[in-house]
Amino acid sequence: MAKAKTVFFCKECGYESAKWLGQCPGCKAWNSFTEEPMVQTKPKGMTSGFGATAAKPLPLNEISSDEEERTLTGIREFDRVLGGGIVKGSLVLVGGDPGIGKSTLLLQMCREISAEHKVLYISGEESAQQIKMRADRLGKFPGEVLLLSETNLDFIESALEKEKPEVVVIDSIQTMYREEVGSAPGSVSQVREATASLMRLAKEKEISIFIVGHVTKEGTVAGPRMLEHMVDTVLYFEGDNSAAYRILRAVKNRFGSTNEIGVFEMSGAGLTEVTNPSEYMLEGRPEEEPGSVITTVMEGTRPILVEVQALVCQTNFNMPRRTAAGVDYNRVNLLMAVMEKRLGISMAGCDAYVNVAGGMKITEPGIDLAIVLALLSSYKNKAVDSKTIAFGEIGLTGEVRSVSMLSQRIKEAEKLGYEVCIVPKAKSARNIDGKPANIRLIEVGNIRELAALL
């Protein structure tokens, strides 16, 4: 009997090689190659492109550029992240930790659109009875949602041909398999074949398909990285399983912005929208306590007020401890070095802890000024006024640089009743659209000026 031919795939990017390699030539990842059987398969009914016949080149000027046809999900936060609704014929990947609420969110979406659209929910992990129990907790469905517990792609394609749904949910892509591919479900070959088949069906039949993807311990979608390249939209569901809130973030979106987020709160009846995240993040905030400062961060076009907390205390060890939660640890160390050099204070004998209340992870540099102000407030044991917010980027020389979307940040603070806003003293910061009437602006050009404010 002839030995079955095998090929090596990179788990990160899908690079194919005839032999095992220590480092992938494509993505430079180490020890990422896996050996799998090589099977020559041809998707049924597909000759080229996304149609049943050969594609014909068209002049660019003759191609219509009309807006994509979208369907509102009935969940405003979900629509915001998708870019305005579900695009017809799109393939959307939803990833997140186990138990974070991916299946619950998609089942709620099915409930909202079931009255006007034909929906098919395909599960490879749960039986129809289990899905029905979860659906009963969400409430009454206004329309009919078809359920199918299946993992064989051939049977799934037959069901799509027969039922002709408008929206399909695949939960999850790692459980789907095709018999012609000899490897196990969840392998590089199976995931690639399943995604390619679903992408072809979405484009040919103009079906909007949502696929659920498991994540690795590093927080990325399991399987080959090419899975994220093949789909139209990649959404990540973030949050702590023990916390009530969830954040839906777009990592890739061919039909909208990749900076938008949706905020949800987990309850007994499913996920509920948080329409005012700023108020939600500041709930329970202590007032007139040293080390607490409010700042404004931008998530896409949405300004969100968050609380930055810092605790500086004397240490009994030779090596002081530094801890950061919600912000970059190395960025906190850099800012503390700038404080020691430019403000002349010594933190070598102090432990320092920095935390963003609410569990959000902030990456933008506009939070620098709030971190320095919180550390300085805790170090001097002097509280910052509870009606004051601060934002700005800090350089190595101690200068305070301007940040984007100043007007939106200030208006959000004014809307929530804040009276003082510490902003960068930069030329771009002075050109604010519409001077706020109910909030006083304090311009600072260097962190040395912060000490006087305390």
Q: Which pLDDT tens digit goes with each residue over 104-120?
A: 999 999 999 999 999 99
- CA torsion sign for 348, 350, 351, 357 is negative
d(CA 434, CA 193): 54
CB 192 within 8 A of CB 144: no
Helix, strand, coil % in the chain, rounded to nearest 5: 30, 30, 45
Which of 16-20, 155-159, 353-357 is predicted least confidently? 16-20
| Beta-sheet pairing, 91-96 with 233-238 | parallel
Which pLDDT belongs to residue 186?
78
Q: CATH number of the domain at 280-453, out of 3.40.50.300, 3.30.230.10, 3.30.450.80, 2.60.120.10?
A: 3.30.230.10
Over residues 373-400, mean pLDDT:
94
> In which element (H, E) is residue 156 found?
helix 153-163
- CA torsion sign for 230, 231, 234, 237 is negative
| Beta-sheet pairing, 420-424 with 388-390 | parallel
Which pLDDT belongs to residue 86?
94
Over residues 231-239, mean pLDDT:
89
**Radius of gyration of the CA atoms of the chain, in A:** 26
- Phi and psi for 194 in degrees, rounded to 5? -65, -45
Q: How confident is the model at residue 224 (pLDDT cuts 50, 70, 90)?
A: low
Return the percentage of the chain with pLDDT > 90, whole number. 43
d(CA 227, CA 408): 36
If 0-12 CB within 10 Å is exposed, 13-18 middle and 19+ buried, where does residue 218 land? exposed
- The reply to whether 280-453 shares the fold of 70-275 is no
Q: Which residues contact 129 (CB under 8 A, 6 or more apart)?
A: none
127-153 confidence digits (pLDDT tens): 889 999 989 888 889 988 999 999 999
Over residues 276-283, mean pLDDT:
82
Task: Indicate if the pLDDT at residue 48 is higher than 50.
Answer: no
E strand spans, 278-412: 292-299, 302-314, 322-325, 350-356, 388-390, 393-394, 400-401
The full set of domain ranges for the chain reads: 1-38, 70-275, 280-453
- CA torsion sign for 424, 427, 430, 431 is negative
Please count the other Cβ atoms lying within 10 Å of the Cβ belonging to residue 250.
Answer: 23
Which pLDDT belongs to residue 79?
93
Nearest partner of 375 among 423, 308, 424, 327, judged by Cα: 308
Nearest partner of 391 among 370, 405, 418, judged by Cα: 370
d(CA 255, CA 258): 9
| Lookup: tokens for 34 | 């896996």
Helices (H), 262-389: 277-281, 329-343, 368-380
Which pLDDT belongs to residue 97?
83
CB 170 within 8 A of CB 198: yes
Which fold, 70-275?
A: Rossmann fold (3.40.50)
3-state secondary structure of 223: coil
Amino acid identity for residue 23 in this structure: Q
CB 402 within 8 A of CB 424: yes
CB 154 within 8 A of CB 148: no
d(CA 401, CA 55): 52
Q: How confident is the model at residue 312 (pLDDT cuts 50, 70, 90)?
A: very high
Instruction: Report the range out of 241-245, 274-278, 332-336, 432-436 with the highest average pLDDT.
Output: 332-336
Q: What is the largest CA-CA distance in the chain?
A: 84
Q: How confident is the model at residue 451 (pLDDT cuts 50, 70, 90)?
A: confident
Given phi > 0 = left and psi -120 to 50 = alpha, else beta, which region is 163? alpha
Task: Indicate if the pLDDT at residue 354 is higher than 90.
Answer: yes
**Core vs surface per residue 70-101: b (16+ CB within 10 A) or e:** bbebbbebbbbbbbbbbbebbbbbbbbbeebb
d(CA 210, CA 4): 34
Task: Indicate if the pLDDT at residue 440 is higher than 60.
Answer: yes
d(CA 133, CA 126): 11
Helices (H), 97-146: 102-113, 128-138
Look up the pTM and report it: 0.74
